[in-house]
Amino acid sequence: MVHLKYQKIKEGIKLTIQNELMQALNDSETEIIQIRRYLHQHPETSFHEKNTSKYIKDFYHKLGIETKNFGDGYGFVIDIDSGRPGKSIALRADFDALAIQEDNDLPFKSENSGVMHACGHDGHTAYMMVLAKNLYQMKNKLHGKIRIIHQPAEEITPGGAKSMIKDGVLDGIDEVIGAHVMTSMPTGSIGYHWGETQTGRADFSIKFIGKGGHASMPHLSKDAIVAGSYFVTALQTVVSRNVDPFDTASVTIGSFDGVGSNNAIKASVELKGDVRIMKESTRSTIHQRIETIAKSAAEMFDMKVEIDYNDNYPVLVNDEELTKQVVKSIKDAKIPEIKQVFDCGPQDPSEDFAYFAQERPSCFFYVGCDPDDGMNHPHHSPEFLMDENCLLVAAKGMGSVVLNLLRS
C-alpha cells in the first residue's frame, strides 16, 4: 500500500511537471517562430556561422546562462544541472545553412544572397533555444543534467560534430537525442526508426589526364572525355553487380567537368561523385570498385588518373532501447498537436549526428513539417518551406522525452 501511494505521488508530480512545461511551450510558440524567422533571414553556410553562433549565445547570456565552446568551429553548449542525481543527456540542434539562392516569396526571405536555410536548421535551433530556456527555468524540479549542443557545419564534411566530440562534448553524457524536420512527413507526425536509420556517405573526385590535340587528328591525342565517359558507364555496375539487392546503396556522378571547344580534344576532365550506403560493411566494397574502374579506364585509354576518395559520415544507427523509450515518452505525453507517431523506416539522407551515435546510445527522430499546400518543397531546394506549426510539435516532443528520460 505504501509503495502504491508513493507511485501515485510520483506520477502526480510527473504530470504536474509535464503540464507546466507543455503550457510554458504553448506560451512560447510566438517566440519560437520569431527566432526561426530571424535565423531564416540571416543564414550562414557551414564553418562560417559566426553571427549565428553569436545570436544564439546572446540569447542565453541575457538569461544569465553560461555558454562553453567546443570544437574547431562555432559550436558551443549550455548545461542545465538540476542539482539532483540522475542521467546526463545531451540534446543536439544544428544551425548552419546552405549555399542556395532562395526562391520563396516570404516576408522573412533570406537577406544573404546565395545562402538559404533550405534544410530546416533554423527551426531546429529556434525550438531548441526556447525549450532550453524553459527547462533551465524549471531545473530545480528535474533530476540529472541536460547538455544542449548547438552544432555548426552539419552540411559539409567533415562536419561540426566530429571536432566537438574530439574536444570532449560528450564527456559525462549517457545518451544523445536529436531531431530533424521533414517535409516528406505530414505536420503533426513524429517518425522514428531503430537500428540503421540514415545512410553513411562518401564523396570522390576523379581526374583523367590524357593529351590534348586537334579534333581532326585524334590519333595524336589521348581523349580524356572518352575515358571519363567510359568510367561513368562502367560505374553503373558498382551497385547492380556488387551490392546485395536487399541492401541499400547508390553511386552518383554529380559533376563532369569537360568544358572545351568543339574542335579540340580535351587533355583532362574531372568528375565528382557521391556514395550512399546503409551498411558500413558495404562501404569498402564500393570504394574498392570505384578505384578499380577508374584505374582500369585510365589504363585502357593510356592515360593517368588522380583519385581523391573521401569516406566521411557513418551510417546513423539509432539505439533500439533508447528509441523505444523516446517513442513511449512521446506517446504517453498525449500531446494534442501530435496526431501520429510511426516507424518511418530508414531515411536516404546522411547526417553527422551519426558520429554522436557511434559514441553514445542515441536516438534521432523526425518531425513532420509538410506545408500541405499541394506543392513539393524538398530539402536542399530553393523552394524549401516548412509548416511552422511543426516547431511547437518538435519542442513538446523533445520536452516530453527529456522529462521521461530524467525520471527513468
- The one-character DSSP state at 222 is B
In this structure, what is the dihedral angle of CA atoms 122, 124, 125, 128, given to the nearest 10 degrees?
150
Chain-centre distance for alpha carbon 121 = 9
Contacts of 281 by beta carbon, 8 Å cutoff, 6+ apart: none
Cell of 21: 512545461
Give whole-number Cα distances, 283 to 341, 345, 357, 385, in Å: 32, 21, 18, 33
Contacts of 133 by beta carbon, 8 Å cutoff, 6+ apart: 28, 59, 60, 63
Nearest alpha carbon to residue 75 among 46, 97, 104: 46
Residue 360, classed as helix, strand or coil, is coil
Cell of 293: 574502374
Side-chain-side CA neighbours of residue 268 (13 Å) = 9
Q: What are the catalytic residues?
A: 96, 154
